[in-house]
Amino acid sequence: MSALLILVPFFSVLILNLPLKGIRKLAFGGAICLSLLQMAAVFIPDAAFWKINPHAFGSIFSFELSADSLSKVILFCIGLVSFSALFATRQTLKDSAGRFNFINIILIAVAGMNGVALAQDIFSLYIYLEITAISSFILIAFNRDILGLEGAFKYILLSGVATVLMLAGIALFMLIAGSTSFAVIHAVLLNHNKDFLISLGIGLFIVALFIKSGLMPFHGWLPDAYTAAPAAASVLLAGVVTKIAGVYVLIRILVSVISFSPAIKSILLLVGALSAILAAIAALTQSDFKRMLSYSSISQVGYIILGVGSGSVLGIAGAALHIFNHAAFKSLLFLNSAAVECQLGSRDIEEMGGLAKQMPVTSLTSIIGSLSCAGIPPLAGFWSKLVIVIALWMAGFRAYAVIAVLGSILTLTYFLILQRKVFFGKPNAEFKDIKEAGFSLTFPALILAALIIGAGIFTPFILNRFILSFNSIFGG
């Protein structure tokens, strides 16, 4: 039954495009309903819902779907962020035909991401990744302005190279295991001695995922793509797309297929620490609102990778919790940047100032988002960073735990700079007639802010259930 999460968005795209009168008006409401239903579906406790017959789809390669607690966290994030992105389209895309197309592509991207979250074999994982990637290329270049096209081209080229590396890894796994299913490859890799081809395949796969998640030596495309994309597309990309295409797949492959080794751990920790620190320093020097948030995104992904690199259940649970928190606060901050850009027509933070009075809702929600991102208690971001630091300390990587704390201070620094330049400080006379952004940008921002505060206060309860259930992904 979990296949419904993939099939329903696909079929709703088909139905919305039937030549029927008035059906296009249903697109927005229908897509919002789908995202709400998806968030509700995560809480279905019935185990039968989450398993399907592995041979239901064909005979040649088994096409398995199943979900554990990690996939459910991801599915919830997809629902949440697509909900916010859909609302953002209402104000940022004025043309109704264009908005209809945009919503269709968001639905295809959601179907692809749900597939990535549920896939249990390495090849269908690749297909769903490509569906997600191709729809995000179109979303970035959607306005057909030159910046969007440039950002999209850079993303296409690097994502293409990552795809090639990933396929080469898949081919090598297939050569050794003779199958593409996670379980079979895992069993073969456990019994096989570490020979050259296996190490090569694992290396190619991990580098491909580093490119896809935009980690520091391979980050070139990410700030360009996020900055150039239309506002609603940035919300979707920064909130979930790259987190799923890169980080989630990395966790899934490490847990279900490759399993941790000391070499993999040290590579992950090195790359994670590099991204967490260098991207935060790069964010300090930016003057473009969205570009600063993009570098912040790289830095937070570095945190997630540090959590994964600790190799313990606690670290993975902290990483998953941080993926969820990141989806909440980064889509909130991108919604705020969309609100500011919509009202001012500019993204240059040097020009702004004193907007707190004119845009009270945007200002308040962005403070909550920034503080959560910087890890200030009792907001949600604090808990996930705490879990990651504790996991690093307990696993014996104490230097990296210290680096993680330092990165958090840098995060606080650039967000304080951002807040001071945009919402506080001296008002710019040029922008004195600015009003608050419309309902469709402030409403999802308020919901996300409430979620961040709520998740922060109730984290001790969530964490208990969460970490207990995370033991199962190693056992399964």
Partner 1 sequence: MLSAIFVVLLFIIGIYCIMASYNLVRALIGLEILIKAVTLLIIAAGAKSGHLHLAQALVITVIVVEVVMITVAVGVVVGIHIYNNSLDVRKVRRLKG
Residues near partner 1, by CB under 8 A: 60-61, 123, 127, 130, 133-134, 137-138, 141, 144, 146-147, 149-154, 156-157, 160-161, 163-164, 167-168, 170-172, 174-176, 178-180, 223-224, 227-228, 286, 288, 291
Q: Measured from the CB of residue 32, what is the shortest distance to partner 1 in angstroms?
A: 27
Element (H, E) at 454: helix 439-475
- As measured in angstroms, the least distance from the Cβ of 285 to partner 1 is 8
3-state secondary structure of 348: strand
**Smallest distance, Å, CB 290 to partner 1?**
11
Q: How far is the CB of 140 from partner 1 (least distance, A)?
A: 9
User: Residue 60 or 429: which CB sits closer to partner 1?
Assistant: 60
Gap between the Cα atoms of 52 and 249, Å rounded:
21
Q: Rg (Cα) of the chain, in Å, rounded?
A: 21
- Encode burial over 256-291: b for 16+ CB neighbours within 10 A, e otherwise: bbbebeeebbebbbebbbbbbbbbbebbeebebbbb
Residue 334: what residue type?
A: F
Residue 472 phi/psi, 5-degree rounding, is -70, -25
Nearer to partner 1, 153 or 260 (CB): 153
**Least Å from the CB of residue 134 to partner 1:** 6
DSSP per position, 2-27: TTHHHHHHHHHHHHHTSS-TTGGGHH
- Please say which residue, 265 or 291, places its beta carbon nearer to partner 1: 291
Identify which of residues 152 and 273 has a Cβ nearer to partner 1 in the complex: 152
Residue 161: CB minimum distance to partner 1, A: 7
Q: Looking at beta carbons only, is 175 or 409 nearer to partner 1?
A: 175
Report the residue number, 162 or 356, with the smaller CB distance to partner 1: 162
Nearest CB to partner 1, comparing residues 131 and 403? 131
Query: What distance in Å separates the CA atoms of residue 403 and residue 408, rounded to the nearest whole number?
Result: 9
Distance, CA of 185 to CA of 180 (rounded, Å): 7
Write the CA distances from 432 to 43, 93, 113, 347, 421, integer angstroms: 46, 25, 42, 16, 15
Give the contacts of 10 (CB within 8 A, at least 6 positions apart). 107, 108, 111
CB of 151 to partner 1, least distance (A): 6
